[in-house]
Amino acid sequence: MRITVCLTDTRPESWIEGLRAALPDAEVSAWTPDAAPADHAVVWAPPQAFMDQQPSLRGIFNIGAGVDALTKLRLPPEARIVRLDDAGMSVQMAEYVCHALIRHFRDFDGYAADARDGRWSYRKPNVRQDFPVGVMGLGVLGQRVAKAVAQFDFPVKGWTRSPKQIEGVQCFAGHAQLDAFLAASRVVVCLLPLTPDTRGILRRETLQKLHGGRPGGYVINVARGGHLVEADLIPLLDDGSLAGATLDVFETEPLPADHPFWRHPKIDVTPHASARTQREESIAQIAGKIRAVEAGGDFDRIAGVVDPQRGY
């Protein structure tokens, strides 16, 4: 069995070494344009040329949860995309979102500013019940985030494509219930996959519906930059419709140095760092799935196989 590794923006050596150790019978090497056809690929954002030159691929194992960089490519005819299934990401995402939420809710930035000036002053506490948190996407990451937020006694709402019942989360589904979900949420956390249905879902028209259309809405985007219409955000912050945003993902990454998000006083920026791929856990998971497929298992019996119709 041959495995080819093609990782944009990530050095492949440690991945190759780890995959060789986990799959001693496999030939594992870094992809080059003249590489022999492989059975499986381990990838992050490969170019179209990679797919065109690897027509025999059966499994395309993504080293991340989001597969939008793959679904936009023309794939080999038999290939199935397999996403990472948590592999250490959901706990990081829960940490990140709870941190952003609580930093805003408790006004820790205000206290930090006071501390810099040597000022001992209390700020009026916010009321938890006035801060319902709406999580868009209750998949592997969204469910973990919703549960973590609920632990702090915030009211939690969730929005998905198919109806769900999750203890402690008021669930909404489909476009028919999007407005009700937005109206019921003051803080919105985007954990959707980027698909044609979800691109631009955070835009003027939807953001204005947060918190029943009252000021005070807050945006946490940790999914993909393409979910937010970037040009719509700053006017809503500047006219007071929204209270702030924490953004980890952007339409263009790295975020250009002259992008206004960097310096906006109501926006906190992190460099796509909310939930990083954990190499060892990910190699173990991918190797386990490759072993299962090679042992005669069907792709439909391993977790994380992407449905090409849904795009996630």
106 conformational bin, left if phi > 0, alpha if psi -120 to 50, beta if neither? alpha
42 binds, among ligand NAP, ligand GLV, none (CB under 5 to 8 A by kind): none
Q: Is 274 in the site for ligand NAP (CB under 6 A)?
A: yes
- Nearest CA to 63 out of 34, 37, 88, 31 is that of 88
- Nearest CA to 48 out of 70, 68, 63 is that of 70
Length of the chain: 312
Beta sheet of 242-247, edge-to-edge order: 170-173, 156-160, 133-136, 187-190, 217-221, 242-247, 267-269
Among 137, 155, 217, 244, interactor with ligand NAP by CB under 6 A: 137
Which residues from 5-64 bind ligand GLV, rule CB under 6 A?
A: 64
Q: Is 65 in the site for ligand GLV (CB under 6 A)?
A: yes
Burial of 149-174, coded b for 16+ CB within 10 Å and e otherwise, reads bbeeebbbbbbbbeeeebeebbbbbe
* Binding residue count for ligand NAP, defined by CB under 6 A: 30
Amino acid 12 reads P
Residue with Cβ nearer ligand GLV (2 or 199): 199
Distance CA 246, CA 289 (A): 35
Instruction: Work out how close the CB of 36 gets to ligand NAP at its nearest, in angstroms, rounded to a whole number.
Output: 32
272 is catalytic: yes
Q: Given the residues 83, 161, 186, 224, select the one marked as catalytic.
A: 224
The mark string for 224-263 relative to ligand GLV (x by CB under 6 A, - otherwise) is ----------------------------------------
Residue 69, judged by CB atoms within 10 A of its CB (0-12, 13-18, 19+), counts as middle
Task: Tell me if 48 sits within 8 A of 74, measured CB to CB.
Answer: yes
Which region among 18-26, 103-111, 192-200, 211-219 touches ligand NAP (by CB under 6 A)?
Answer: 192-200
80 is catalytic: no
Rg (CA), the chain: 21
160 binds, among ligand GLV, ligand NAP, none (CB under 5 to 8 A by kind): ligand NAP
Which residues from 124-163 bind ligand GLV, rule CB under 6 A?
A: none
Q: Is 66 in the site for ligand GLV (CB under 6 A)?
A: yes
161 binds, among ligand GLV, ligand NAP, none (CB under 5 to 8 A by kind): ligand NAP
Task: Tell me if 263 sits within 8 A of 234, measured CB to CB.
Answer: no
Which residues from 194-213 bind ligand NAP, rule CB under 6 A?
A: 194-195, 197-198
Helix axes of 108-116 and 89-105: crossing angle, nearest 10 degrees = 60
Q: Given the residues 58, 264, 272, 291, select the one marked as catalytic.
A: 272
Distance CA 290, CA 242 (A): 46
Instruction: Work out how close the CB of 273 gets to ligand NAP at its nearest, in angstroms, rounded to a whole number.
Output: 7
Interface contacts to ligand GLV, rule CB under 6 A:
64-66, 277
Q: Which residues bind ligand NAP (CB under 6 A)?
A: 64-66, 89, 137-142, 159-162, 191-195, 197-198, 222-224, 248-249, 272, 274-275, 312
Task: Report, as residue numbers or ranges, the catalytic residues.
Answer: 224, 272
